[in-house]
Amino acid sequence: STYRASREGCRPIRVSFEFFPPKTEEMERTLWSSIERLAPLHPSFVSVTYGAGGSTRERTHNTVARMVRETNLKPAAHLTCVNATRDEVDEVVRSYWDVGVRHIVALRGDPAEGVGSAYAPHPGGYRQTCDLVAGIKRIGDFQVSVSAYPEKHPEAASLDADIDALKAKVDAGADRAITQFFFENDVYLRYVDRVRARGIDIPIVPGILPVQNFKQAANFARRTGASVPEWLAHRFEGLDDDVDTRRLIAGAVAAEQVLDLVDRGIHDFHFYSMNRADLVYAICHLLGLRAERPAAAERAAA
Ligand code: FAD
């Protein structure tokens, strides 16, 4: 296959994983066992989201700080402009710097009332994401990632207006964009062409959502403006009560998507892990990544 050929071309595959901060002790255990399983794959970074309306400020910070203390991972903290003054946001940024975090995923965020309600900037806050990016860069030499929307952000007037917003974030210092998830690779590749034509040259890393639960993913997609192709719905048809088959299909669908992207020259992937390791681990394995075995295990095996 051409996939094999491109692997033999030896451009390394790089991956990053996204997690959300756990709400309960049980969720915390699931998260940390997922992190332990995925860490040996040596992701370029792992990111931790910031709850809608800034609701997880403490939990995001605690999760990221624990990653710094207890792992060799390079964590990235998501941060939004919502519900906070500039001083408050700057304080969060400084507290990340102080614990050794050097990468922030800068976002506008959605209103505390949820996606769909009108967004109004906090009177004393950062108005737009590009302002937040500039603010973060003023505070410290952070790597800053931002979002990108191959199918347009629901609030943007047009795809071109959306790409203008991305350009403003790049001009403010963004180093990398991570896309909203998508299921049609052509949509992503066409978007990258348009972004390049606009003179934007930072990496536009595809955000991959392995669909664990089709109904949930379809709902999520509706709210974020990502389309759900008919063929995808068809693949999960009739499997609502069949978790095992659904998981096999989910793995196959995501594998097909990333291997096709590799064939088409893409080598960086950001996985929305939903705090679960299995599917992501399997897909990374197919991409050629192998867990580094701890030295002690190597010795025991020798
Ligand atoms: P922006 O760059 O702010 O803007 C996107 C588009 O919307 C642009 O076209 C812009 O012009 C347009 N727009 C913005 N405001 C307006 C307006 N008032 N009127 C008209 N058009 C407007 N959310 C969280 O709360 N926490 C997270 O941790 C988080 N992580 C994310 C990670 C990724 C990779 C992605 C893709 C999204 C994430 N989000 C997160 C969601 C994000 O906060 C929302 O999509 C939000 O609505 C837009 O913020 P933004 O920074 O992505 O987009």
Most ligand 1 atoms within 8 A of CB, residue of 153, 205, 220 to mutate: 153
Residue 5's pLDDT is: 46
Q: Which two tokens stand for residue 66?
A: 């624990």
This prediction's pTM:
0.94
What are the pLDDT digits (tens) for 84-119? 999 999 999 999 999 999 999 999 998 877 666 788
Q: What contacts 98, CB < 8 A, 6 or more positions away? A: none
Among 88, 58, 224, which Cα is nearest to 77's? Answer: 58
Residue 267 — very low, low, confident or very high, per pLDDT cuts 50/70/90? very high
E strands in 23-124: 45-48, 75-80, 103-107
ipTM of this model? Answer: 0.95
Q: Which two tokens stand for residue 107?
A: 């976002």
Output the six-digit token pair for 206: 């595809």
147 close to ligand 1 (CB < 6 Angstrom): yes
Give pLDDT tens digits for 41-66: 999 999 999 987 777 889 999 999 99
Give the ligand 1 atom nearest the CA of 155.
21
Handedness of CA 13, 177, 258, 22 (dihedral sign): positive
Around Cβ 191, how many Cβ atoms within 10 Å? 23
**What are the helix (H) ranges across 209-289?**
214-224, 230-236, 243-263, 278-286
Whether 155 is catalytic is no
Query: Are 108 and 128 a contacting pair, CB within 8 Å?
Result: yes
**pLDDT of 4 strictly over 90:** no
Whether ligand 1 lies within 6 angstroms of the CB of 220 is answered as no
